[in-house]
Structure 1
């Protein structure tokens, strides 16, 4: 599966670039927007790293499951119709995504990694790739370990990845699509755009990646009518380069850096 190599990226471009022109949300936004090159780097570099981590994690978890989970349980789950397994995987994985995503917003140390994704100021389908690898790996681990552990079939897991990836690109796309009553069940572009909104009333809302009903149940659903956000981003200085963004979570905050420098001066002997 070539998710995401250059071939996959080009195929996605052939789908989403015309879609964003036909159903555009913000017509003035350029295809070659600010930060597009950085997001393309994320797609190519992070994709390789995250794939390697997922395959390694799957091998380890499946080996442990073979020892701990009764064979009849694994056979029963993996023997269900593929379409039913895909639905079950979506529900199970999205509960994990919700929990991990909410933790990345609640815990300051984790937010430093997740803020890279929220630093995007113009949303389109390529923006979905901008995420720190630590953010991606932890979220994938929390959401997918139960899936690998319970013995879902390879075919069902592969279909889930395709559905998840296509949905993630659509959620970030520069499109206006009316989901109607389904917006209460399935995450829509409007739902996720509000998650990225730099509006006080939208902070820490809409954590689910596919099933908006999870946010509805836990009281974090925020979709105000048919309105769309006026602006996106965060009120902190996220670096503009890939390397800068990669290292950002590991650097002390400006205040901490200033305190460290003051401490160093105080400890320096007088000449």
Structure 2
């Protein structure tokens, strides 16, 4: 078994490296751009963690689906033609992805995990792997909920995983390929690059993973003509290095808790000191008149 997915890595290199040289969105970006080593570590270590966690999640979803979804309905869904199941599956999965992805931007605690992904300052296919495991597990888990609970059959599920994986690499890649009118339906590199842009007008936009149509419907789309961003990343102080980024969301919370506790202790100390200065002792004579 290829546990480290070396074949997948080699295939991605063969596909994307030439395309990023021939059709570069940013021609000045180097092949070995800053922090590429971090993202390579993500490729190897995150893959194992996320596969293990999602396998457990899928098992739980299947069991829950057996209890909550009528067997007749699951059989009906699984019996639909492939060409019906696959589009339906993609729509349902991306609605789940869109919803949870948007929550990761709106809820401050969840943003701490998602900020790791937005720390990417040079987008390419390899940078797509820089995702905190908690972020990926929750977001992907939301996508897989309808996939396995509603009874979709194996062939469209396999096709969905194939399309999701390669589109994820593609929309992060440094490739400028126009989709024409389809860009309002299908997520493209331009669409997702604006999601990563460090431009105020693009903040909290373009949440969909596969169907840009969802952002158009929910009013969160930002694609200004054929323009592409000039700055990427986040202003959050996300450190470099896989293990530091893994601990970053928790370290920040602990640091704030320690600071708050220190401030509370200092305030309590001042209060006790003031009480000692101004409190009159029982045997101390009181001022007259």
Same fold (TM over 0.5): yes
Q: Which deviations, in whole Å up to 9, do the C-alpha atoms of 1:159-180 show, x marking residues without a partner?
A: 1011001000000000111111
**Cα drift, residue 40 of structure 1:** 1.1
Identify if the C-alpha distance between structure 1 residues 186 and 111 changes in structure 2 by more than 3 Å, giving closer, same or farther. same
Match of 2:127 in 1: 127
Alignment of 1:6 onto 2:16: no
Match of 1:18 in 2: 18
Match of 1:76 in 2: 76
Check the 8 A contact 1:123/1:172 in 2, yes or no: yes
Q: TM-score, normalised by structure 2?
A: 0.88
Whichever of the two has the greater Rg, that structure is 2
Q: TM-score, normalised by structure 1?
A: 0.93
Match of 1:36 in 2: 36
Q: What 5-or-longer segments of structure 2 have no aligned partner?
A: 274-289
Q: Please list, as runs of the form range in 1=range in 2, the aligned pairs for 1:75-114 lying within 5 A after superposition.
A: 75-114=75-114
Match of 2:190 in 1: 190
Q: Give the match's secondary structure for 2:59.
A: helix
Q: Find runs of 4+ consecutive structure 1 residues off by over 3 angstroms.
A: 1-4, 253-270
Once residues 133 and 197 of structure 1 are traced to their aligned partners in structure 2, the CA distance between those partners, rounded to angstroms, is 22
Q: What 5-or-longer segments of structure 1 have no aligned partner?
A: none
What is the root-mean-square deviation in Å for CA atoms of aligned residues? 2.0
Q: Which deviations, in whole Å up to 9, do the C-alpha atoms of 1:2-26 show, x marking residues without a partner?
A: 6962221111111111111111111
Check the 8 A contact 1:2/1:8 in 2, yes or no: no
Check the 8 A contact 1:175/1:189 in 2, yes or no: yes
**Cα drift, residue 233 of structure 1:** 0.5
**Cα drift, residue 128 of structure 1:** 0.6
How many residue pairs get aligned? The number is: 270
Once residues 220 and 3 of structure 1 are traced to their aligned partners in structure 2, the CA distance between those partners, rounded to angstroms, is 38
Once residues 149 and 9 of structure 2 are traced to their aligned partners in structure 1, the CA distance between those partners, rounded to angstroms, is 30
